[in-house]
Chain A
Amino acid sequence: MKFWLPAVVIVLAAAGVAVSRINEYFFFAAFVVLTYVVLATAWNILGGYAGYVNFGTSAFFGVGAYTAVVLFKWLGAPLAVQIAAGAAMGALLGFGVGMLTLRLRGIFFAIATVAVIFIMETLMINWRYVGGATGLQLLRPEAMAPFGSYTRMLFLVMTVMAVAAVALARYVQTSWIGRGLRAIRDSEEAAEASGVPTLRLKLVACVLSGALMGAAGAPMPMYLSFIEPASTFSLNYAIGALAAPMIGGTTHWLGPVVGALLLVTIQQIVTVTISSEINVLVVGVLLVLFVVLAPDGILGFFKRWLRASSR
C-alpha cells in the first residue's frame, strides 16, 4: 500500500498532465528523464543488487529500439507490441550476458559487456533493412485521442513503464531473490556454500535487467521518428544508467530513481540553457563528487545523517 498508492497517483497525475495544455517541450524532456529512470532501475538489479557492473546498457537499449523498428517496418506493429518485443529481445540478450558471469567477474565482466555494444552496433550498421549506417526515417502514426500529440502519449507510456520497472526492482529487492543477490555481491563462494543457486539468480537478474532495458529502448525510434546506429548505441546510455544509481544509491530501489531524476533533469536543463556538450560533463562531475563525498549515494548519505542525528 505504501508503494502502490503513490504509484497509482503518479500514473494518474502523468495522465492528467499529458492531456493538459502544458508546453510540448516538457514532454519531450520528461520522456528522456523517464527513460533513464527505467534504464537506471534496470541496471541496478544486476549492478547494484548483485554487484555485476554492466557497461553495456546501450546494447540492450539499442536492441530494444531496433526490434521495435523492425516490427514497425515489417508489420506496422503497434507500440505495445514493439515494447513487448523489445523486452523479449533484451531478455534474450540478458540471458547471453548472464552466461558470461560463469567465467567473468569484476572488471572483466564489465569489459565484456562493453564489447556487446560494439557487436550489436556493427551488426546494425551492416543491416540494410533497418537503414544501415545512414539510418531510417520513420513516419509515426497519428496520436490517439485524447492526446494532443504522439510525444504526450509516449510520456504517459514511459511513466507507466518507469512505475512498472520500479515495482519489479522493488519486488526483486524485497523477495528471497534480493537476499541471494546481496549474498552474491558480498561473496559468491560463500553464497554458493550457503545454498544460494548463484548461477540461476545471476541469470534471473540479467534477464530481468535486460528485458527492462530493451523495453526502455523500444519507444525511442517513435519518439525521434528516426533511428540510426551511432546515437542508438551511444555510450551515454551506458554511463547514465550506471551513474544514476551511483548517485542515488545502489542498495535500495529508490536510489536509481532519485539519481536518474536528479542527474537527467540537470542534464536536460543544462542542454537547453548552456550547451549540449556541457551536459555530458555534468555526469562526470557529479559522479566524481559522489564517489568521493557520498560513496553510498544520496540515500546512503541521508541514512547516515539520520543515524548520526538520532544519537
Chain B
Amino acid sequence: MAESLLKVSGVSKHFGGFTALSDVSLEIAAGERFGLIGPNGSGKTTLINCISGLLRNDGGSIRFQGENISALPAYQRTRRGIARSFQVPRPFHTMSVLENLLVPSAYVAHMKDTEGEAQAMDILGSMGLAAKAGLHANQLSQVELRKLELARAMAAKPKLLISDEAMAGLSGAEVDEVLAILFKLNEAGITIIMIEHIMQAVMRFSQRVVCLDAGKIICEGTPASIVQNADVQKAYLGA
C-alpha cells in the first residue's frame, strides 16, 4: 500500500490529570473523504488541534506525507499542506473578506498581493462569497462566516483540509450549500477530514468514519456500518 497522507500513531494528550486522547491511531489516504464523529467532549477537536499543531501531542507520532510533524509549530504544518477551519469562526475581523484570504496566500504560498487577490477572488467565487469580498468580516452572516473559514483555509493551498463543525447551527439548505462546497474541493483532489455533529451530513459525505468516545476510537468503518454499531449507539444515546 502506498504511504498514507496522514498517519496518526498512538497519539495521546493529557490536560493535567484529564486524559483527552489515549492511544489514538488512524490513517488517511490521499483524496479520501473522512468523517470524525463522537459525542461532545470526546476529543475530536483536541485530535485535530494535535494534527494542525495548535496543541502538541504528549505521546505517539503524527506523520504527514511520511514526515514526522509532531514537533513542528502550527504555521509550519500549514505550510506543508494542512489547513483547517475553526469550529467557532475566527475571522480576522478588522480586515475585509478579501484581505482575510491574503494572509495565507502571503505567508504560505508567498504570493504577491496581485496574485493573491486573483486567487482569493477565484476561491470566493467558488464559494459564492465574491460579492462580499469588500465587506468587513464582522458584517457577515453565520453561514458566510463558515464559508470564509473554509475559503481562508483554501487560500493556503492545502493537501489536507480539516473542517471543524463547519455546519453546526446552520439551516438545512445552508448545510447542503457547505456540503456541496466540500464535495467540490474533494473532487479537485483535496483530502478532507470532516468533524460534524450533523449525522445526515457526515453520513452523506464520508467514505469512512471514525467514532471517538472519551478520547478513544471506539469504531471505524463505512457510514452504514457505523450507525449500526452498538458502541456508537451507546456513546450517543447512553443506552
Contacts and interface: CB of A to CB of B under 8 A. Distances in A.
B2 to A, nearest CB: 27
Contacts of B104: 194-195
A197 B84 CA distance: 16
Nearest to A191: B103
Given A179-B102, A179-B103, A179-B106, A192 B92 contact: no
B73 A199 contact: yes
A182 B94 contact: yes
Contacts of B79: 195
A206 B153 CA distance: 28
Contacts of B91: 186-187, 190
B119 interface: no
B74 interface: yes
A189 interface: yes
Interface string B68-98: 0000011100110001101000111111000
Interface residues of A, number: 20
B107 A196 contact: yes
Interface residues of B, number: 28
Contacts of A179: 99, 102-103, 106
A195 B156 contact: yes
A176 B155 CA distance: 16
Contacts of B93: 186-187
Nearest to B86: A190
A185 B156 CA distance: 20
A299 interface: no
A180 B103 contact: yes
A101 to B, nearest CB: 14
Contacts of B52: 193
Given A180-B103, A186-B95, A198 B75 contact: yes
Contacts of A197: 73, 75, 107
A242 interface: no
Contacts of B86: 189-190, 193
B54 interface: yes
Contacts of B73: 192, 197, 199
Contacts of B159: none
B108 interface: yes
Contacts of A41: none
A180 B93 CA distance: 13
A222 interface: no
B223 to A, nearest CB: 28
Contacts of A198: 75
A183 B92 contact: yes
A189 B89 CA distance: 11
Interface in A170-221: 176, 179-180, 182-183, 185-187, 189-199
A113 interface: no
A195 B92 contact: no
B56 interface: no
A189 B91 CA distance: 10
A190 B74 CA distance: 10
A192 B102 contact: no
Contact of A195 (B75, B94, B99): B75
Contacts of A189: 54, 86, 90
Interface centre among A176, A179, A183, A190 (most CB of B within 10 A): A190
B152 interface: yes
Contacts of A180: 103, 106-107
A190 B53 CA distance: 12
B75 A196 contact: yes
A175 to B, nearest CB: 10
Contact of A192 (B74, B99, B152): B74
B15 to A, nearest CB: 16
A251 B94 contact: yes
Interface of A: 176, 179-180, 182-183, 185-187, 189-199, 251
Interface of B: 52-54, 73-75, 78-79, 83-84, 86, 90-95, 99, 102-104, 106-108, 152-153, 155-156
Given A180-B103, A196-B75, 9 more contacts: A176-B106, A180-B106, A180-B107, A183-B95, A185-B94, A186-B92, A190-B90, A194-B104, A194-B155
The list of the 7 closest CB pairs from A to B, nearest first, reads A195-B108, A195-B107, A186-B92, A190-B90, A187-B90, A194-B104, A192-B74
7 contacts: A180-B106, A183-B103, A186-B94, A190-B91, A193-B74, A195-B78, A195-B104
